[in-house]
Structure 1
Amino acid sequence: MAGYRGSCVSADTEATSGSVIDFDRQTVRGVEGNGTNSDKLSVLKAEEWDMSNPVRIIGFTSSAAPNTVQLTRPIHTKETEMLLVSDCHQLAAFYPECTDMTDCSSVKPKTAISFKDYVLPENCIQSDTESCPHLYTLGTENGMTYSVEEIGKLEGINDNNRRKGSDNRQLFALYRNDVEMVEGVENLQILYGLENNAQTQYCDAKQLEDSSACPGNITHIRISMVVASSNNVHSVSESQSFDILNHGSDGTLTKNDRRLRRVFTTTIQLRNKR
């Protein structure tokens, strides 16, 4: 789930001051495409560090070793990877600092985050860490990114060798983190629903940058995808128009060829948002 904050804090727990993520506005975000060009969508959510052999938190210090988190075993991380820590009542998200990033048994935030009020559960002890909070990763800044790309282009395949349709024209697909997922997706549009005074306002990624124009917390996302056949279906070229989730004059996508297309639209509620 977008914005997932771990198993031992509630879904509306706010991050400690100094954290690098505002969970109510930044766990789903994107890049607005020019005109009717496709948008990009990025999703951030917490994932346990090594689910097969979890890393747990056994201490917070803010005196002798300022703002340090002690772990049950060393981890191999990097400065661009966001970590999430919690005492099951409050949480913090940060980029880590460590003397040796390949062997970190304790980490500290690059930003000024205070752990002085963090208190681990009473039954969390070094000899029995099963009740200690998990260490989570939020991945890199962009999280899980979805985009529409020409098949073969990201992979560095020469244009003449890329997979094409029966009309010898390029094919497109939905990609996740630069890996092809679904062939035939030609257009992706995203709108973000923000709740403010019991009203939901939908903004695009560009509008979302202005918190005064689009106030509130993101509670929904609306998605439209135009999917095309890889082969010619119509006997002659036909002009086709599709309503897509763009504001203003860019809300219609027009194509003129022999391929068959359909537009799919859905609204997703981010249930773990408050």
Structure 2
Amino acid sequence: MGMRRTTRSSLPARIAAYVFIALVLVVFTLPTLYAVLTSLQPPQVSLNPVPQWVFTPTLDNFVALFDESSFLGPVLNSVQSSVGSAALALAISAPAAYALSRAGVSSSGATGLWLLAARALPAIGLAVPAYAIFTRVGLSDTIVALLLVYLPFNVALATIMLKVFIDGIPRELDEAAALDGAGPLRTMLQVVLPVARPGLASVTIMTFLFAWNNFLFPLVLTGSQSATIPLVLQKFLGSYTLQWNQVMAGVVLLSLPLIVLGAIFGKYMVGGLAAGSVK
């Protein structure tokens, strides 16, 4: 009887939980659905003040985005800055995290505090002096400027995250590699980092997203030569007209790499974040 009462009493709670989850999913999914539908609507339909749910889908907005708005250049700039930023962050943070972990440096000590302070820097506080410096040295409106300004934020975050994962890897693996004649660099590359693949996947996605979605730094540091997708999309929002169809087509294109990364590295990222939270 007790088990039946417990089951009956928990049923309303479960129903309420499912309803709440469904509402949350609707709230978060509706803007994405609206963006996709608007990107497929003809211009005369998207400009109608009354929402039109029945229409003939078209890819004209995506074609116009590249033909009329020179969208290919910003796409390539975003790819270069995001991939380059993630690669640089991994190249610097992986050895740093391995060294800090094997040296027994605490994440709550002075080193961890400095890394957190670098990650917590206000972006606008770095963008303005970076603009003055890059203008003087001839790096304004370049991808290199974006890579350099993204570096402190991404390296700090990546080092903190990777150190957590490497701390969970037994030191016996290092000792076994040393007995086989492997040095620290070879041990890190061939033994430790392959085991830390969930952490590497998590760090890669998060550093990539930081650069891919960033708006402030491209706004301050770039111009016509190295503008990225978020900066170009803002230009469609004019004072008198709103090209919602092209804006939403750009938003869909901006989201596609994130969906691909999530599909490829999703299982590694979930496992990595779970391991980091337990640690």
Normalized against structure 2, the TM-score is what?
A: 0.25
Larger fraction in strand: 1
Point out the structure with max Rg over C-alpha: 2
Q: TM-score if structure 1 supplies the norm length?
A: 0.25
Q: Specify which structure has the higher proportion of helix.
A: 2
